[in-house]
């Protein structure tokens, strides 16, 4: 039994789903095995709350349905981790903040509900950067998430799992769950996936409902799956996506059958290589993995073309205006009046309550972004910052539009470097923000983009390759990802030390 349990945690979404369906093992056995891994991995701090009973309950329902001969859902029997940005009915939902500590919503986010409806179960709520603001998972009120990976220098420095979906990436890489939800505002799915050697896709903006996801920057936030491989991402994204009348920005389009449409044959496809992403002083290992990726896609039958995305260098500054601007407004609701933390000093008035509550409830990075956002929207600065940034955003969308007249997908690195040690960059916000330089443009343009493991760098740490697709062309992205995956042959996994 214990051997068996160890085996199933090595399996991904498709294998678990198929195994449960065939009766190779029960959903309950799977849930128990992952529950055990979660319980034993406290050192990674990937979960804020574990919900083993919920995983077992969901598994029980799947087993009963199977026994009764009922049709099983797309995710039947697959226990997953839920980023703690998704509201979960009756389960604490914090966005990794103090201000929402103890907040238990009376509603379920659309995406998580769809996953439960598809037969998935919840192992727990995953740690993240506070309000999804961060690239290293060092801004959580509930402590840093540690990457299961370590450098091959024997130094054992705790490494960043990436952010903001750092709990998700750490947990999937460490086999605490076969898959997890993530959200991506400027790279928060792709960057942590790249740092931990897993696969993650941010779909086209509007594919997944934002209803019930704690908002960071509404015009950029998109949910997506993080899993072991491309097929697992396709399966899980099918379960997560779909039109939601409760989200006015939701795409009213049918959800394609991405899993069924998977093919690694790239014949007749053109892959664009954006010259502006080739930056001076680029990390040699990153540059090498990009070259590998080009060779693999050529090998898969694709034609490689040079493309230009001329406004790339303006993307990061524009992002760090637009996202904080929206955040400063989205986070105004955390005011101590209706829910969450309330700090009401003796004899205090309303303004004092706001100040005390928000001072105590938000972390330093959240405060920094609220201040930036408030500044760029304020009278006299709005046009110079916000309006300019929106123009840049439009130009970046045009860049991609033009590029996609010459190619089908774009290949680039996911991040400028592999994972770094915790504390290494947290003192310098600008250096931290540079982590998002390759991921932010696709976010600003609302395009589907995915990170696929490409190999290890000289330190023995994973590197990711990014595929960016045209709007609504998740299939093209997934297929190019599959072609990379098959040729990269990435089988490395972190050695268990926790």
Partner 1 sequence: MSEYRIQGATGEWEVVIGLEVHAQVTSKAKLFSGAATAFGAEPNSQVSLIDAAMPGMLPVPNRECIRQAVRTGMAIDAEINKWSRFDRKNYFYADLPQGYQISQLYHPLVGEGRLEIQLDDKDPENTKTIGIERIHVEQDAGKLMHDQHPTMSYVDLNRSGVALMEIVSRPDMRSPAEAGAYVRKLRTILRYVGSCDGNMEEGSMRADVNVSVRRPGEPFGTRTETKNVNSVRFVMATIEHEANRQVDLIESGGKVVQETRLFDPDTGTTRSMRSKEDAHDYRYFPDPDLLPLVLEDAFLDECRASLPELPDAKRHRYENGLGLSAYNAGILTAEVETARWFEELLVQTAKAQGKDDADVAKQAANWLTSELFGALNKVGKGLDDSPVSPAAGAELLALIGDGTISGSIAKQVLEKMLETGDGAAAIVEREGLKQESDTGAIEAAIDAVMAANADKVEEYRGGKDKLFGFFVGQTMKAMQGKANPQVVNELLKTKLG
- In sequence order, the β-bridge partners of residue 202 are 449
Whether residue 162 has a cis bond before it, omega within 30° of 0: no
144, 129 contact by CB (below 8 A): no
Min dist CB 129 to partner 1, Å, is 16
Task: Please identify, using beta-carbon distances, which residue of 389 and 403 lies nearer to partner 1.
Answer: 389
Min dist CB 84 to partner 1, Å, is 11
100 in contact with partner 1 (CB under 8 A): yes
177, 132 contact by CB (below 8 A): no
In angstroms, the CA 146 to CA 292 distance is 29
x-or-dash pattern for partner 1, window 50-89, by CB under 8 A? ------------------------------------xx--
391 in contact with partner 1 (CB under 8 A): no
In angstroms, the CA 251 to CA 467 distance is 21
Task: Please identify, using beta-carbon distances, which residue of 247 and 343 lies nearer to partner 1.
Answer: 247
Candidate list 7, 65, 247, 352; residue touching partner 1; CB under 8 A: 247
Candidate list 157, 253, 350, 360; residue touching partner 1; CB under 8 A: 350
Min dist CB 212 to partner 1, Å, is 4
Task: Please identify, using beta-carbon distances, which residue of 323 and 480 lies nearer to partner 1.
Answer: 323
CB neighbourhood size of 423 (10 A): 13
Q: Is residue 164 annotated as part of the catalytic site, yes or no?
A: yes
> Could you write out the three-class secondary structure of 186-227?
CCCCHHHHHHHCCEEEECCCCCCCCCCECCCCCCCCEEEEEE
Candidate list 374, 388, 394, 397; residue touching partner 1; CB under 8 A: 374
Q: Strand pairing of 270-274 and 303-307? A: parallel
x-or-dash pattern for partner 1, window 268-307, by CB under 8 A? ----------------------------------------
Min dist CB 214 to partner 1, Å, is 5
232, 204 contact by CB (below 8 A): no
Stretch that binds partner 1, among 116-124, 196-204, 210-218, 230-238 (CB under 8 A): 210-218
Stretch that binds partner 1, among 57-65, 167-175, 228-236, 330-338 (CB under 8 A): 330-338
Q: How far is CA 203 from CA 100, 224, 264, 374, in A?
A: 28, 6, 19, 29
Can you tell me which residue has the tokens 């903006």?
205
21, 187 contact by CB (below 8 A): no
Min dist CB 95 to partner 1, Å, is 7
Helices (H) and strands (E) in the chain, counts: 16, 11
Task: Please identify, using beta-carbon distances, which residue of 65 and 247 lies nearer to partner 1.
Answer: 247
Q: What is the CA radius of gyration of the chain?
A: 21
Q: Strand pairing of 409-413 and 462-469? A: antiparallel
In angstroms, the CA 369 to CA 375 distance is 10
Residues that bind partner 1 in the complex, under the rule CB under 8 A: 86-87, 93, 95, 100, 103, 105-107, 109, 210-215, 217-219, 245-249, 325-326, 328-329, 331-333, 335, 337-339, 350-351, 354, 374, 377-379, 382, 386
**Residue positions annotated with a catalytic role:** 83, 164, 188
């Amino acid at each position: 039994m214990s051997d068996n349990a160890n085996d199933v945690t090595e399996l991904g979404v498709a294998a678990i789903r198929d195994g449960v369906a065939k009766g190779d093992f029960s959903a309950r056995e799977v849930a128990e095995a992952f529950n055990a891994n979660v319980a034993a991995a406290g050192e990674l701090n990937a979960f804020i709350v574990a919900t083993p009973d919920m995983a077992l309950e969901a598994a029980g329902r799947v087993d009963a349905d199977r026994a009764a001969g009922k049709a099983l859902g797309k995710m039947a029997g697959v226990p997953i981790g839920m980023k703690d940005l998704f509201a979960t009915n009756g389960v604490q939902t914090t966005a990794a903040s103090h201000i929402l500590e103890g907040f238990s919503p009376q509603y379920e986010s659309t995406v998580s509900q769809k996953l439960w409806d598809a037969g998935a179960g919840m192992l727990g709520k995953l740690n993240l950067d506070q309000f999804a603001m961060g690239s290293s998972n060092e801004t959580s009120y509930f402590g840093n998430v540690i990457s299961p990976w370590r450098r091959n220098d024997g130094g054992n420095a705790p490494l960043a799992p990436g952010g903001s979906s750092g709990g998700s990436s750490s947990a999937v890489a460490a086999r605490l769950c076969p898959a997890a939800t993530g959200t991506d505002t400027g790279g928060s799915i792709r960057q942590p996936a790249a740092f931990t050697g897993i696969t993650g896709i941010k779909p086209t903006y509007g594919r997944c409902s934002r209803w019930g996801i704690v908002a960071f920057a509404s015009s950029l936030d998109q949910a997506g799956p993080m899993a072991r491989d491309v097929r697992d991402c396709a399966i899980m994204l099918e379960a997560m996506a779909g039109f939601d009348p409760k989200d006015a920005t939701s795409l009213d389009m049918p959800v394609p059958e991405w899993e069924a449409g998977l093919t690694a044959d790239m014949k007749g496809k053109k892959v664009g290589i954006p010259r502006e992403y080739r930056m001076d002083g680029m990390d040699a290992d990153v540059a090498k993995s990009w070259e590998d990726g080009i060779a693999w896609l050529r090998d898969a039958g694709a034609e490689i073309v040079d493309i230009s995305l001329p406004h790339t260098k303006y993307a990061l500054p524009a992002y760090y205006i637009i996202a904080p601007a929206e955040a400063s407004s989205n986070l105004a609701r955390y005011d101590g009046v209706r829910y969450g933390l309330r700090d009401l000093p003796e004899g205090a008035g309303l303004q004092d309550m706001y100040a005390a509550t928000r001072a105590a409830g938000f972390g330093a990075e959240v405060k920094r972004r609220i201040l930036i956002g408030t500044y760029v929207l304020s009278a006299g600065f709005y046009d110079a910052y916000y309006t300019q940034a929106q123009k840049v955003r439009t130009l970046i969308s045009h860049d991609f539009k033009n590029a996609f007249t010459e190619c089908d997908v774009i290949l680039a690195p996911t991040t400028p470097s592999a994972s770094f040690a915790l504390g290494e960059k947290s003192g310098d916000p600008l250096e931290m923000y540079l982590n998002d330089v390759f991921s932010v443009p696709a976010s600003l343009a609302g395009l589907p983009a995915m990170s696929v493991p490409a190999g290890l760098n000289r330190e023995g740490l994973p590197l990711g390759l990014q595929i960016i697709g045209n709007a609504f062309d998740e299939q093209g992205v997934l297929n190019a990802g599959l072609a990379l995956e098959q040729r990269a042959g990435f089988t490395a996994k972190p050695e268990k030390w926790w």
